[in-house]
Chain A
Amino acid sequence: MQIEIEVNGQILKTRKGDILLSVLNQNGIRVPTLCSMEGFPPTGACRLCIVEVEGMADLVPACSYPVEEWMKVNTHSARVIQARRTIVELLISNHPDECLYCFQNKHCELQKLATELNVMERKGRTRQFTRKIDRSSPSIIHDASKCVLCGRCIRICDHQRVSALEFISRGTEMRVGTVGDKGLSSSDCISCGQCIRVCPTGSLQEKGHLDELISHLHQKQQQVIALVDPAVMVSIGDELGFRSGKDVSGLLFSALRKIGFDQVHSGSESVDITMFQAARLWKHTATKGPGPSLISFCPSWMQYIENLRPDLMSCVLPVLSPAQTFGRLIKDINTNSYIVYFSPCVGSKMESQKAEHQKEGIPYLNSVMSTRELIQLIQLFGIDFDRINNEVPDSLLNSVPMSRLLSSLSGGYMEGLMKAISVVDPDNYSLDGNKAKFRGPKSCKKNIMLHYTIEQKWTACSTLDEGINLIDQSMQSKYPELFEIMACPGGCINGGGQPGNKSDKVNKPRIKEIYDQDSELSGQISQLYAEVSKVSKKLPVLELKAKED
C-alpha cells in the first residue's frame, strides 16, 4: 500500500511496512548507523539511527521501525543530534586513544562518527578499559578493548555457519569472545576474515607480517619472490588513486620490483596449474557415479570441513591451493627463496602456517600478506604509480594464461575448469558456451551440465550456509555433482583481507573488469596444458585432517 510520510518537512512516498531507515536512505537522507548490516535483520543495538517521531515519547530507531501512515519524522533535530552525540561520547569514553597506532586509522567508523557529530572532548573516563588481546589465531588478532560491541562480527560468523564468536557476560563486562572463551585458535574459526571486514573499528584485524618482510627485503640474504593473487590486481586501484576496478597489475609488477622483489609472479598461472589437476581428477571421479565432489581451492572452506564437517573430507578433490602449488614449485627450483603471497584471503595466512604446508618447520609460503598490507607496503616505499610503467610478470610456464582474473569471483573456478576439462578430456567435454551459467549476482549458481556422454551438475556457491545445504541434498542426487564453494560472499573479491567494506559501489566495476578481461583462448589451452603437465607431476596431493577437540 502506498503511503506518505513526512520527513524533515518534506513529503516522501513509500509503502506501508517499509523500514524507515531504507526509506530515508532511498531519499538521500543519511542517519548514522553502527549495528545495522545490509541483508541482515536489525538488532537495534547501537541506537545511533534514532530519529524523532512526532507523538512518540521516546526516540525511535530507524533501522528497525516500520513506517506508518501518520508518521512525522525529524532525523536531525537538536534532541536527536544531542542523543547521538551522547552515545558516541559514551563509546569513546571507554575506548583506547590509539588512533595513530591503529590499522583502522582513517577507516574507522567510530572515528568517522565522532568527527561527524563533532565530538571534541572526552566527557570523562574513570574506568580504564581492560586490554585483552587474542593473538592465538594464525590469521586474526582480536583486541577486545577497541570493540564497540556492535555485534556485526558475531552475526557474520553465524551467517558463515561457523558461530565461533559470541557475546560473553553481561553489562559492562560484556565482550566478544569465542565459544567457551578459549581464544580463536581453539574455536571453530575458519579464518575467512569476514569479521574483519564488517568490524567498524580496529578490534579485529589480520595478523600482519610487514616488518618481517621489510627486513627481508633489506637484508637480501634470500631471493624474495612475490606472488600476486588475481583478486588483488583489481582491488588496489581505488586506494592508489585510480578508478575503481582498474586492473593495475602491470604497474604493480613494476612497483614490486622497485620495492626490491627479485621475482614477481602473477597468481593466474598457479590457478591454471591447479585447474588442470582438478580437471584430471574430476574426469575420473565423475565416472564413478552420483554424489558430491568438492573443489579445494578456498582454504577457509577446507578449514570448515576439517573443523565442522569431517564427514565431507572424502568428497574433496585433493588438489593443493594455487598459492601452495606455487610455493612447492618455487621452493623446488630455488630452496633459498623467501616467498611472499599477496592475497585477498585471510584464510591463506592460516593455511600457510599449517604443518603440512611447511618444510622443516619453514612454510613454503614464507609470508602471506593481505591486500591491505600490500597497499601499506607500496605507500611505505613511496612508489608513485603515476610515474611508473607497466611491466610483465615473471613466469613459470611458457604460455598464455587461461583463467586470468576469473578465479577471484565465485563461479570463476567453474569456468576455468570447463576450459581445462575440454582439453583434458576432449572426448567427453566440450567448451560449449556454458560459461555464462556461472556469472551473475546470485550467491548460488546451480547448473546441469550436458556433455557428450555424461550428465552432471555443477554448483558454485559463495555462501557457506546455502552451499552446505546443497551438498547435503546432493548425497541423494542422481548426478555426479561438483561443487565450488567459497567462504567469502561473491568469492575472493570480497576476501577477508580486502580493503574497505563490501559494497556494490566498489564491487561492480571490479567484477566488470574481471569479466571483460576474459577472452576466448581455446586455441592456446592445449599448449598451456602441455606446459602445465611438465611442471605439475611432482606436486603432492592435499591432505586434510579433522580437527580434534
Chain B
Amino acid sequence: MHGNIKQISQDLLPGLLDYMAKGLKDDTDEGVLNELAFHKRSIIKHPCLFVEDSNSAKAAGSVQTLQAIKDWAQSKALHLDVVLTGGLGYLSGQPVIGIQLPGRNRLFFGPVQDYQVSHLMEAVMKHFVPEENLLGQWDVGGQIEWEGVPYLHDHPFFAGQERRVLRLNGIIDPCDVMDYIAWGGYNAFVKSIRFYTHEEIVQLVEASSVRGRSGSGYPAADKWQKVISTTARKRYVICNADESDPGAYMHRVLLEGNPHVAIEGLMLAAYAIGASEGIIYTRSRYSNVVDRLECAVDQVRELGLIGQDILGSGFSFDIKIRKGPGAYVCGEETALIASLEGKRGMPRPKPPYPAKSGLFGMPTLVHNVETLSQIPLIVDKGPQWYKSVGTEESSGTKLFSLAGRFNKHGVVEVPFGYILKDLTDLNAQGVKNCKKAKAILAGGPSGKFISSKNFDIALDFEDFEKSNLILGSGSLVLLDESSCSVNLISHLMKFIQKESCGKCIPCREGTRRMAEILDKVIRRPERDKEHDTLHRFKGVTQLNDLARVIGETSLCGLGKGAANPLLSALEHFREEFEEHLFNRVCPAGVCQDLRSFVIDAEICNGCYVCFSKCPEQAIIGSPRQVHAIIPDRCTGCGKCHEVCKFNAVFIQ
C-alpha cells in the first residue's frame, strides 16, 4: 500500500484538527466522524481481511497466504477489502490474519498457511468459527460479538499483557496515518501544541516518572531538563531505532505495526525541549521499518503536523530518517551521534553528555523507540493513568522479546513488576519440546543470566538492580537443558569482539583474548600443537581478572558489559565449564568438537550409509556387518548421527 497515501480532503482538515485537539464534541463535523469510522473499520460494507505484512511474517509465508486469499475471493467473485497490517507481536502465530465481517467483531487466526485459506474463509463466511488456529475475537467497538468465541486478550500469549504501546499493532494499516488518528493518534500532539506550554509537557513527563527503556533506566524527565537548561541556537532530538542486540526485535515489531506512536513521541519531546530537528536512526537492513517510517513521516508532514510554523503555533520541527550500517556499538549514544555526523561510529568519552553537547556540538536528546512511544500516552491520558500500572520506581509497561527455547516466541508488553515465571510459563507456554528450562539470558550480549531457580523475579528496575541483573532493552533468551552455556558464551564473546568498534584497548584486545580462551575450551585440542592443554588452563586462570579489567576500564557500555554474560555464567554454570575444561566433554552435546559418537552394535544392521557419509573416514565396517567408529578420527561432526536411519548412532 506504500505510496498510496489516502489523502484527507482539505475541507475536512480543520474539523479533524479540532476533533484531535478537543475530542469528540456535539459539533464535531459529520464528515470527520465518517472518516474516522471508516478508518476504525467500525462501519464496513464488505468483509475485510487483515493480513500481517512484516519481515518475519513473510518468512512464515504471509505472501502466499495473501495470494491464496485473493485467489479465493476471485474464485467466489466476492468483494473483499484487504488491509496490510504489522504484526500482533505473536511470532509463533505467523502468518496471522484477521477477518472482519460487516457488523461483527474481528477474528484473528494464526498461523494460517495458504492451503488453509479456502477452508477457513468458507467457514467464516458461513458464520462458523473454526477452532483450529483461532487466536480470538477482537472488539472493534459497537459490533456484534461472536458467541462462544474467546477474546484475543484471553489467548494465553496475550493474557496478562497490558498492551498500551502495542495496542494498535496488527490492528491498523501502518501506512495510513488516518488509521492511527482514528484510534486517537496525534491527539496528544495537537492538544499540546494548541493548549499546553513546553513546561507543562515536561511536568507531565516528570510526574509520570517514566524511565528510559534502554538499559540503565535513567529518568526521562531529567534528561529533558538537562537539554533544556543548556542554551544553544539549535537542539536535536534523536530516536534510536537501531536495534542492534541480536536477540531483541521489539522495536522492529513495534515500528512495523505502528510507526506513528514513536513519531508522535518524538514530536512531543521536540516540542517540550524546543528541538527544531528530529532524526530517526535506524538500520538499512530493516527495509520494512524504513519504508513505513518514511511514509509515516511524509504523511504527518502532509497533514501539517510537522514542518514550518506547525498549526500556526510558531513552533517548527521536522524529522529526518537516517539509515545506519547496523552496528551494535551505535546503540551507544555518542557512537550513534558520531555516525550521524558522518564519522566512524565510535564512542567518545563522557562527559560532556549529549544532553549538553551532542550532535554537531548541540544539546541533543537521545531516546530509543520504546521510551519515546510512552510520551503520547502520558500526555494523552495523564500521568496518573500512566502510573496506574507498574511499580513504585518503574511506572508503566515494558516490551520484552522472547527468543531461544521458549515454546512461543514474540513480543509482549507487560506492566513493570510482572513475574518472569508467568511470562515463561503462561505467555510463552513453557519450554519447547517439554524440556527443562535452565536459565534466561536477560539483556542481550551484555546481559546476565537468571537461573531457573530465580524465575519468580519481578520484571522491573528495582528487582533487577537488587539481584544485580540487567534489564537492558528487554530481550529474554531462554536456555534449556539441551543448550550449552559455554558454547553460548563463546559465541556471544565472538559477537562482541566483532562488534567492538575497536577504539579502546581493553575492549578490542580483551574481548579477543577472552574469545580465544573460550574458544580453546570448546574446541578439540590440536594434536600437532604442543602445550595446548597448558595454554587452555593458563587462559582460563586469566579469565576472571581479564573480565574485571575490561569491565572497569572500557570506554563505553559495549566494553563495560562485554564480560557480563561470562561472569554470570561462571557463577551459575561452573560445573558445565569444568566439564568442558577438565573432562573435555560438553554435557549438553552441543560443542561439536567435544562430542564423540558411538555405534550401538545391537541396532546397527550394517547398512553402510554412515560409512560412506563420514567425511573423516572414521568409520570401519563392511556391508551387513556391524560398524564402529574410530574415536581418534572422529571430529564429532555428527554426519553419521544424521544419516543413520535406524538411530544406531549415539553421542557418547
Seen from chain A, the residues whose Cβ lies within 8 Å of a Cβ on chain B are 34, 42-48, 50, 57-59, 61, 64-66, 82-83, 86-87, 90-91, 93-94, 123-124, 126-127, 148-149, 151, 166-167, 169-174
**Judging by beta carbons under 8 Å apart, are B348 and A90 in contact?**
no
Chain A contacts for B435, CB-based, 8 A: none
Q: 24 A-B pairs, CB-CB below 8 angstroms?
A: A44-B349, A44-B504, A44-B555, A45-B555, A58-B560, A61-B349, A64-B349, A65-B351, A82-B545, A86-B506, A87-B505, A90-B505, A93-B509, A93-B513, A123-B542, A124-B513, A124-B517, A124-B535, A124-B542, A149-B503, A149-B505, A171-B499, A172-B512, A174-B502
Partner of B505, one of A127, A148, A170: A148
Contact residues on B (Cβ < 8 Å of other chain), bracket? 35 or more
**Judging by beta carbons under 8 Å apart, are A171 and B502 in contact?**
yes
Could you count the A-B residue pairs with CB atoms below 8 Å apart for me: how many are there? 115
**Judging by beta carbons under 8 Å apart, are A45 and B505 in contact?**
yes
Chain A contacts for B349, CB-based, 8 A: 42-44, 61, 64-65
Distance in Å from the Cβ of B236 to the closest Cβ of chain A? 21
Chain B contacts for A46, CB-based, 8 A: 504-505
Q: Which residue on A lies nearest to B560, using beta carbons?
A: A58
Chain A contacts for B552, CB-based, 8 A: 57-59, 83
Distance in Å from the Cβ of B544 to the closest Cβ of chain A? 11
The 6 closest A-B pairs by CB, nearest first: A174-B502, A44-B349, A90-B509, A64-B349, A86-B549, A126-B516
**Judging by beta carbons under 8 Å apart, are A94 and B509 in contact?**
yes
* A50-B501 Cα distance, complex, nearest whole Å: 20
* A167-B502 Cα distance, complex, nearest whole Å: 9
- Say yes or no: is B344 at the interface (Cβ < 8 Å to chain A): yes
- Say yes or no: is B382 at the interface (Cβ < 8 Å to chain A): no
* A174-B512 Cα distance, complex, nearest whole Å: 12
**Judging by beta carbons under 8 Å apart, are A86 and B546 in contact?**
yes
**Judging by beta carbons under 8 Å apart, are B498 and A171 in contact?**
yes
Chain A contacts for B512, CB-based, 8 A: 94, 127, 171-172
Chain A contacts for B508, CB-based, 8 A: 149, 171-172, 174
Chain B contacts for A59, CB-based, 8 A: 552-553
**Judging by beta carbons under 8 Å apart, are B500 and A170 in contact?**
yes
As a 0/1 sequence over residues 534 to 575 of chain B, the CB contacts with chain A under 8 angstroms (1 = contact) are 010011001001100101111100001000000000000000
Chain A contacts for B535, CB-based, 8 A: 124, 126
As a 0/1 sequence over residues 508 to 531 of chain B, the CB contacts with chain A under 8 angstroms (1 = contact) are 111111001100100000000000
Partner of A170, one of B327, B504, B516, B546: B327
Q: Which residue on B lies nearest to A50, using beta carbons?
A: B553
Q: Is chain A's interface secondary structure helix, strand, loop, or mixed overall?
A: loop
**Judging by beta carbons under 8 Å apart, are B553 and A124 in contact?**
no
Seen from chain B, the residues whose Cβ lies within 8 Å of a Cβ on chain A are 327, 329, 344, 346, 348-349, 351, 497-506, 508-513, 516-517, 520, 535, 538-539, 542, 545-546, 549, 551-555, 560
Partner of A172, one of B497, B503, B542, B554: B497
* A59-B555 Cα distance, complex, nearest whole Å: 10
**Judging by beta carbons under 8 Å apart, are B348 and A44 in contact?**
yes
Distance in Å from the Cβ of B535 to the closest Cβ of chain A? 6
Chain B contacts for A34, CB-based, 8 A: 505
**Judging by beta carbons under 8 Å apart, are A47 and B516 in contact?**
no
**Judging by beta carbons under 8 Å apart, are A172 and B502 in contact?**
yes
- Residue from A61, A149, A171 having most chain B Cβ neighbours under 10 A: A171
**Judging by beta carbons under 8 Å apart, are A45 and B503 in contact?**
yes
**Judging by beta carbons under 8 Å apart, are A47 and B553 in contact?**
yes
Chain B contacts for A167, CB-based, 8 A: 344, 346, 502
Chain B contacts for A151, CB-based, 8 A: 503
Chain A contacts for B497, CB-based, 8 A: 171-172
**Judging by beta carbons under 8 Å apart, are B513 and A43 in contact?**
no
Distance in Å from the Cβ of A166 to the closest Cβ of chain B? 7
* A445-B529 Cα distance, complex, nearest whole Å: 64
- Residue from A65, A126, A166, A170 having most chain B Cβ neighbours under 10 A: A170
Distance in Å from the Cβ of A278 to the closest Cβ of chain B? 40
* A38-B93 Cα distance, complex, nearest whole Å: 60
Q: Which residue on B lies nearest to A46, using beta carbons?
A: B505
Distance in Å from the Cβ of A517 to the closest Cβ of chain B? 45
Chain B contacts for A166, CB-based, 8 A: 344
Partner of B501, one of A65, A124, A170: A170
Q: Which residue on B lies nearest to A57, using beta carbons?
A: B552
* A171-B351 Cα distance, complex, nearest whole Å: 24
Q: Which residue on B lies nearest to A44, using beta carbons?
A: B349
Chain B contacts for A91, CB-based, 8 A: 505, 509
Q: Which residue on A lies nearest to B546, using beta carbons?
A: A86
* A173-B504 Cα distance, complex, nearest whole Å: 13
Known contacts A94-B509, A149-B502; A86/B344 CB under 8 A? no
Q: Which residue on A lies nearest to B559, using beta carbons?
A: A47
Distance in Å from the Cβ of A144 to the closest Cβ of chain B? 13
* A173-B512 Cα distance, complex, nearest whole Å: 10
* A543-B94 Cα distance, complex, nearest whole Å: 71
* A126-B329 Cα distance, complex, nearest whole Å: 26
Distance in Å from the Cβ of B72 to the closest Cβ of chain A? 49
* A47-B550 Cα distance, complex, nearest whole Å: 10
* A94-B512 Cα distance, complex, nearest whole Å: 10
**Judging by beta carbons under 8 Å apart, are B560 and A170 in contact?**
no
Chain B contacts for A58, CB-based, 8 A: 551-553, 560
Q: Which residue on B lies nearest to A150, using beta carbons?
A: B505
* A170-B535 Cα distance, complex, nearest whole Å: 27
* A202-B268 Cα distance, complex, nearest whole Å: 54
Q: Which residue on A lies nearest to B550, using beta carbons?
A: A86
* A171-B344 Cα distance, complex, nearest whole Å: 13
Distance in Å from the Cβ of A16 to the closest Cβ of chain B? 13
Distance in Å from the Cβ of A161 to the closest Cβ of chain B? 16
- Residue from A42, A44, A59, A82 having most chain B Cβ neighbours under 10 A: A44
- New contact pairs (15) apart from A43-B349, A124-B538, A171-B497, CB-CB < 8 Å: A45-B503, A47-B505, A47-B554, A58-B552, A82-B545, A87-B506, A87-B509, A91-B509, A124-B516, A124-B517, A148-B505, A170-B501, A172-B497, A173-B498, A173-B502
* A151-B551 Cα distance, complex, nearest whole Å: 22
Chain B contacts for A65, CB-based, 8 A: 349, 351
* A90-B517 Cα distance, complex, nearest whole Å: 13
**Judging by beta carbons under 8 Å apart, are A90 and B502 in contact?**
no
**Judging by beta carbons under 8 Å apart, are B549 and A83 in contact?**
yes
* A151-B549 Cα distance, complex, nearest whole Å: 22
* A169-B325 Cα distance, complex, nearest whole Å: 12
Distance in Å from the Cβ of A61 to the closest Cβ of chain B? 6
* A113-B538 Cα distance, complex, nearest whole Å: 24
Chain A contacts for B553, CB-based, 8 A: 47, 50, 58-59, 83, 87
* A151-B555 Cα distance, complex, nearest whole Å: 15
Chain A contacts for B554, CB-based, 8 A: 47
* A178-B161 Cα distance, complex, nearest whole Å: 53
Distance in Å from the Cβ of A142 to the closest Cβ of chain B? 17
- Residue from A86, A87, A151 having most chain B Cβ neighbours under 10 A: A86
**Judging by beta carbons under 8 Å apart, are A47 and B502 in contact?**
no
Known contacts A45-B503, A45-B504; A170/B498 CB under 8 A? yes
**Judging by beta carbons under 8 Å apart, are A86 and B545 in contact?**
yes
Distance in Å from the Cβ of B396 to the closest Cβ of chain A? 28
* A123-B497 Cα distance, complex, nearest whole Å: 19
Chain A contacts for B500, CB-based, 8 A: 170-172
